[in-house]
Amino acid sequence: MIGYTDFAINGRLPSILAAFHEALPAVDIDLIRRDSHEQLEDLASERLDMGFLTGAVNGKELQHCCVHQTPFVAVLPAHHRLAALDAVPVKALAGESFVLGEIHQWRHLVPQIQALCLEAGFMPRIAREAPNSDSIFGLVAAGMGVTLYPDCHLNYDRPGIVIRPLSDSDTKLTTEMAWLNSSTNPAVYRFVEITGKLLEQVSASE
């Protein structure tokens, strides 16, 4: 069983799964969408074999490695005053209403967004909280606020919003692959091996 976040499934996880299936087509993979903190709990209790989650990963019982880093972008209502810019400075969002994920479910991401804003000199004013990515984008499209979001191959044709790179920040979101040191599942170690080879190929091509 493999857990994943929205960011993982919109990032490098699909290519990793494809590489594993090509190498070991007889091995079935069960996937479950879980928040990062839930994955850490499920890994510790052996309800998951592997997790793809937002770092950082703590715990001596876990092995982990970075599989993807992606920059943050500004997500704005289509008619927002900053939408005409090619790139948006984070500091220009001071005073804006923000739409963020619910802190309980998004506890690994919201603090990173807050820290990004603090670096620009302000604390984001949270006007709305949403349970998932689609809800966040829907609320932004409705003009309820703006947000900062990892640029995980987002669909730039989403109606009602515009997505702009940040001009004054190179902060990135890290997606980690984690597994138990004590795992007795041989497929876990083959998965780690195949993932490592794929990441080496990606790194060499960049």
**Is the Cβ–Cβ distance between 177 and 49 less than 8 Å?**
no
CA distances from 36 to 74, 123, 140, 184 (A): 22, 24, 24, 23
Q: Which residue has the tokens 């620009």?
A: 120
Q: Residue 176 in contact with residue 39, Cβ under 8 Å?
A: no
> Across 3-17, 34-48, 82-96, which has the greatest mean pLDDT?
82-96
164 and 101, same structural domain?
A: yes
Which pLDDT score is estimated for 115? 95
Could you tell me the pLDDT band of residue 11, with boundaries at 50, 70 and 90? confident
Say whether both 43 and 95 belong to one domain.
Answer: no
In this model, does residue 83 exceed pLDDT 80?
yes
Domain match, 27 and 119 both = no
Here the CATH number for the domain that contains residue 83 is 3.40.190.10
Cβ–Cβ contacts within 10 Å for residue 113, how many? 23
Q: Is the pLDDT of residue 93 over 70?
A: yes
CA distances from 167 to 88, 95, 116 (A): 5, 18, 13
* pLDDT at 60 (0 to 100): 82
Q: At how many degrees (to 10) do helices 13-23 and 186-205 cross?
A: 120
User: pLDDT tens, 147-190?
Assistant: 999 886 555 677 899 999 999 998 999 999 999 998 999 999 99
Kindly report the pTM of this predicted structure: 0.82
Query: Measured between alpha carbons, how far is 46 from 25 in angstroms, rounded to an integer?
Result: 24
Find the Cα–Cα–Cα–Cα dihedral 166, 136, 68, 179, rounded to 10°.
150
- Residue 59: what are its φ and ψ, rounded to 5°? 125, 125
Residues 104 and 87 reside in one and the same domain: yes
Task: Give pLDDT, residue 117.
Answer: 96
Percent of the chain with pLDDT over 90: 70
Does one domain contain both 152 and 74?
A: yes
Q: How many domains does the chain have?
A: 2
Domain that holds residue 52: 2-68+173-205
Cα gap 148→116, rounded to integer Å: 9
Separation of alpha carbons 84 and 62, rounded Å:
45
Asked which of 68-72, 75-79, 80-84, 124-128 is least confident by mean pLDDT, the reply is 68-72
